[in-house]
Amino acid sequence: MTTMLQIKDLCHSYRNEMGDTMLALDHVNLNISQGEFVAVIGRNGSGKSTLAKHLNALLTPDSGECLVIGMDTRNSNFLWDIRQSVGMVFQNPDNQIVASLVEEDVAFGPENLGLHSKEIVQRVEAALKMVGMSDYRQHAPHLLSGGQKQRVAIAGVLAMKPRCLVLDEPTAMLDPVGRMEVLEAVCKLHREQGITVVFITHFMEEAVAAGRVVVMNEGKIILDGAPADVFSKVDLIRSLGLDVPIAADIAERLRQAGIELPAGIIRNEELAVALCP
């Protein structure tokens, strides 16, 4: 499979208030193939967002390297290609919306690419359709719900036709229904368009939807695997200040009490089937 993102020995340092040099990213190695859906979890300050910013050259490595489809993020000649290949969506939808109509907002990126207006219209329509917001193209973004705004922000990124979508806690400010809407839209993009997804979140039940979970702690990747494997390590995940889905938690407690259960239970349905076949 083609490699989408290739991170080798990446270090990113900053100075703390005592003037000491600290590593926000400490020799990180990570390969993400085209079409993967990777969730990144970790405590606040563990380096998740710093990592995300390296993926489209908002930050560049102090040492090591970050390659986006083979393009080195430190080579400024690649900057625009990299930014167009990797679209970013951030936590607060209100900070990402620029226009007063939904369709104008989504058109902002393609307009800046200097595309023909016919092409722009097509891209805007397609992007809004992909996130299920076609009916709102004439609406004012500030009157939409949080989940709808965030889907408009995603559409704005999609209109640039990126190959990879990096979402940094896109659901942190949303209500449960808004969270579900955004997660479903992202899953659909991944499934139907084959877009590579890097999804940073504090909600473990969202990480379960990914094909792969990367766990960060103190600037390092300390776990990397399928959700069922990662969330089976209940004690380790807890010791990192994180949580596991409720089904994994209960399953582990039952195992410890001597009830035989198959490994890798992370969803409610899986636990229900295992307990009452």
* Residues in a beta bridge with 25: 12
Q: Minimal distance in Å, beta carbon 100 to other proteins?
A: 12
**Per-residue binding letters, 52-91, with other proteins (x by CB under 8 A):** ---------------------------------------x
Tokens of 129: 């359709």
Q: Is 68 helix (H, G, I), strand (E, B) or coil?
A: strand
Per CB under 8 A, 253 contacts other proteins? yes
Which of 24, 40, 42, 165 is close enough to bind other proteins by CB under 8 A? 42
Packing angle, helices 268-275 and 246-256, rounded to 10:
30
Smallest distance from other proteins to CB 135, Å: 17
**Alpha-carbon span 178 to 171, nearest angstrom:** 8
Least Cβ distance, residue 228 to other proteins (angstroms): 17
- C-beta closer to other proteins: residue 78 or 203: 203
The residue (of 105 and 243) whose beta carbon lies closer to other proteins is: 243
Residue 17: both structure tokens together: 């208030």
44 binds other proteins (CB under 8 A): yes
Can you list the positions of beta strands (E) in the chain? 3-15, 21-33, 37-42, 63-68, 71-72, 86-89, 164-168, 196-200, 212-217, 220-225
Instruction: Report if residue 100 touches other proteins, rule: CB under 8 A.
Output: no
Span near other proteins by CB under 8 A; candidates 6-14, 43-51, 95-103, 192-200: 43-51
Task: Check residue 140 and give left, alpha or beta (phi > 0: left; psi -120 to 50: alpha).
Answer: beta
Three-class DSSP category at 182: helix
Cα separation values, 72 from 8, 82, 220, Å: 11, 9, 21
For the CB of residue 49, give the shortest distance to other proteins in the complex, in Å. Answer: 10
Of 29, 177, 191, 262, the one binding other proteins (CB under 8 A) is 177
Q: Residues 21, 260, 263, 276: which binds other proteins (CB under 8 A)?
A: 276
Tokens 């084959």 found at: 194
- 36 lies in the site for other proteins, by CB under 8 A: no
Q: Reduce the DSSP state of residue 211 to 3 states and report it.
A: coil
**Stretch binding other proteins (CB under 8 A), from 22-30, 103-111, 123-131, 144-152:** 144-152
Select the span of 21-29, 122-130, 189-197, 267-275 touching other proteins (CB under 8 A).
267-275
Q: Are 102 and 136 in contact (CB under 8 A)?
A: yes
98 touches other proteins (CB under 8 A): no
| Angle, in degrees to the nearest 10, between helices 146-158 and 102-112 | 20
Count CB-CB contacts under 10 A for residue 235.
9
Q: Which range touches other proteins (CB under 8 A), out of 72-80, 97-105, 142-150, 153-161?
A: 142-150
**11/220 Cα distance (integer angstroms):** 10
Q: How far is the CB of 174 from other proteins (least distance, A)?
A: 7
Interaction site with other proteins (CB under 8 A): 16-17, 42-45, 91, 143, 145-147, 169, 172-178, 180, 202, 204-205, 241-243, 245-247, 249-250, 253-254, 257, 259, 268-269, 271-272, 275-276
